[in-house]
Amino acid sequence: MRRSVKFRLIFLISAIVSYSLGFQFLPESLDGDLNLRLVIGFSVLYFILLPLSYWFCIIKVGEQKLWKMLLIFSLSSLIARLSFPAEIAGYFEFIAWLRYPIIAVLLAIQLFLMVSIVKGLWQARNLSGDPRVHILETFQEQDDKKRSLALVMASEPASWYYAIPYLSRNHIPAITSLKLRSSSLWCWFLLILGTLATASLAYFVIEPWSQLAAIIVASIISYSLVMVTANYRLSRHYSLYCQHENLIINNSVWGFMSIKLTDIADIEIGEYSRKENKEGLHFGYGASSNIKLNFKQPQTYFGGLGQLTEQVDSIDMHLVDPQALVEYFQQYIANQSGVPLPTDGATTQELQTCDSPAISAELSSGS
């Protein structure tokens, strides 16, 4: 497990445990020294220890923006409003008032999303590739923050695009495929059953308090079936392809990379153990990868549907047919240079004589 993912899980577990303990042990009033000490202790936990943990685990290790500290302070304020004694909870009443502008903003965003989805689907009916590729091309001169936000907005049309075979009928054929568990039918069926079970459970849990809220929550969860289906079709058929001289890598529907072919320094086929390089970026399941890409300059990986960005200098992947990717690059170099290429025994240095990506196609022993 990569270091950034490990620390995200550490913080998530810490926050869940801390807030759960607060609901369990915080008193209903400030009567008595013990109750006062409990409130002081949980105040330190909510507003000092958890924000410090968030800063280290998410901001520093995960290389996220500092403004995201507002999220943990807002969440701690909300939990304090719901769990602290009434004498203190009143000071966090501003959180309750914020729900009105938040609802208004959410409704505006929802309306904008609906318009964007309908417009995006109409435009996507004749696209030859992922709508997110076209978004990145539109925002290619912008910084990663704006590109990330654009990808988040494009994730919904992309889900419908891949979920409905008719919309993706003109999609560019894949070069080869990543070995992803999400590309198997049994995984798709399990995710569908899990989504339906979660929606049903949410309805029966919330229904005693509010039938309307139960219907809304269950409907939102059931709507995830579109993304589940898109995740399966994308992983199975379109995980690795080339469009407009960009290598497109879809690590299921959650992770996305678009790499200019000219930004690839070299490609190496071999066996790359993931235990030896835990901090590297790995695509595909298994204990090892069979191909590695090194870049001339850092490339951006958009994880979490575009919300989590990382800069990487190289990646390794577990492909179904790594040689197919090598041959594709050999053909690309031949088209760019106009000269015959060496055979598969060529070294990286020999291929770097062309002003194009170099390829090291020497297989390691046993591969």
* Residue 324, H or E segment: helix 322-337
Residue 131 to residue 117: CA distance in whole angstroms: 11
Torsion sign over Cα 278, 284, 287, 292: negative
Question: Both tokens of residue 276?
Answer: 């030896």
Residue 325, pLDDT > 50, answer: yes
Q: What is the DSSP letter of 183?
A: G
**Tens-digit pLDDT profile for residues 163-176:** 888 888 888 888 98
Question: Both tokens of residue 129?
Answer: 């590739």
**Tens-digit pLDDT profile for residues 213-228:** 788 888 888 888 988 9
Place of tokens 């990506």: 357
Residue 139, pLDDT > 70, answer: no
Residue 124 to residue 32: CA distance in whole angstroms: 65
Lowest mean pLDDT among 186-190, 225-229, 325-329: 325-329
**Tens-digit pLDDT profile for residues 249-282:** 988 888 888 888 888 888 888 888 777 666 677 8
Residue 108 to residue 119: CA distance in whole angstroms: 16
